[in-house]
Amino acid sequence: MKTSIFTYTSKGLPVPAYEFHNGGPEVLILGGVHGDEVEGVIAAQELLKHFMTANPYKLNITLVPQFNLEGVIFKTRGNGNGVDLNRNLPTKDWSPEVKTPRYHPGPFAGSENENKGLIDYLEKKAPIFVLSLHSWHPILNVNGDCHKVAAILAEHTGYKIDDDIGYPTPGCLGTFSGLERHLPTLTYEIERGLSAEKIIEIHVPAILESLKALET
């Protein structure tokens, strides 16, 4: 395992990335893009535990369990500037409109340090798959061709696969990486409020199994 600083938060905290290189294509796993969605952070941290023991995949996995570290610390959706990082990426549909403060897109597209680090990583590494762990209503939101992985996740969880989350999400990662850069991206919405035990019992094994589909 190699530890690196993926980016810095708006207030200057380092955001660690854990890299598990095993001689294969690059895969990015993010937890905690929304700091108040603890279910995704629990899943990401549990994955870290597994990968620390062994990376059994022919993949180079980069894992960032707490991407929005300030949000995780303060249990807020937004970062330390109150910006929703999943509405702040410089997509073609980015909009400065503040619908509600919870979904603040930032002063300009790509304004936030966390996203600068993410954009830089995506440009340099061009991962073949991006998994972003959130919580809401159960759904596997796919952007780009990641249906093989999604099918395995659906089989293990009973979650529905959908390429449309059902409402506009300007400046989101699925559009930025999955649609506009052709880096297949899956936004995994774990059921909000699910216990840590259930996340570890159901979702973590599902993710571990689904990663096998990326090796070929």
Residues that bind Zn ion (CB under 5 A): 34, 37, 134
Which CB, 46 or 84, lies closer to Zn ion?
84
The least CB distance from residue 203 to Zn ion, in Å, is 15
In the bound complex, which residue of the shown chain has the CB atom lying closest to Zn ion?
134
Which CB, 7 or 169, lies closer to Zn ion?
169
CA 200 from centroid of its chain's CA atoms: 17
> Is 3 exposed, middle or buried (CB count within 10 Å of its CB: 0-12, 13-18, 19+)?
exposed
104 neighbors 159 (Cβ within 8 angstroms):
no
The least CB distance from residue 86 to Zn ion, in Å, is 6
Strand 139-143 versus strand 185-191 pairing type: antiparallel
128 neighbors 61 (Cβ within 8 angstroms):
no
**Tokens representing 212?**
């096998």
Which CB, 134 or 203, lies closer to Zn ion?
134
- Beta bridge pairs of residue 139: 189
Give dist(CA 183, CA 68) in Å, integer.
21
Which CB, 34 or 47, lies closer to Zn ion?
34
The least CB distance from residue 177 to Zn ion, in Å, is 15
Give dist(CA 216, CA 129) in Å, integer.
13
Which CB, 104 or 134, lies closer to Zn ion?
134
The least CB distance from residue 34 to Zn ion, in Å, is 4
The least CB distance from residue 155 to Zn ion, in Å, is 23
